[in-house]
């Protein structure tokens, strides 16, 4: 259940992690898929990197850097789903 039309911070974090659980993405693609402004997106991305819920992988080809979900990020998704199920 979402209150009003805005997403909570935890919902946004879950959305970001869920996208990366499906596939590794470049920064721009991840931002577009989350439908966040650049300034908000960078805030969340920095937070997730700092908490080690996501990581950056150098691809070594013209694609450049891609972001991926860590095991800790997968654990967050699982626990968040459990909390939502309780509600």
The DSSP symbol for 64 reads -
Q: What are phi and psi of 26, to 5 degrees?
A: -75, 160
Output the pLDDT for position 13: 95
Cα–Cα distance, 30 to 41 (Å, whole number): 9
What are the structural domains of the chain?
A: 27-82 (1.10.10.10)
Instruction: Give the pLDDT of the chain (87 residues) as one tens digit per residue.
Output: 444 556 789 999 999 999 999 999 999 999 999 999 999 999 999 999 999 999 999 877 777 899 999 999 999 999 999 998 888
């Amino acid at each position: 259940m979402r209150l009003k039309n805005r997403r909570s911070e935890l919902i946004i974090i879950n959305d970001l992690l869920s996208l990366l659980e499906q596939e590794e993405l470049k920064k721009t693609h991840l931002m577009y898929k989350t439908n966040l402004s650049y300034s908000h997106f960078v805030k969340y991305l920095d937070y997730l990197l700092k908490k080690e819920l996501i990581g950056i992988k150098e691809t070594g080809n013209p694609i450049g850097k891609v972001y991926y979900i860590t095991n800790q990020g997968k654990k967050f998704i699982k626990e968040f789903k459990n909390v939502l199920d309780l509600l």
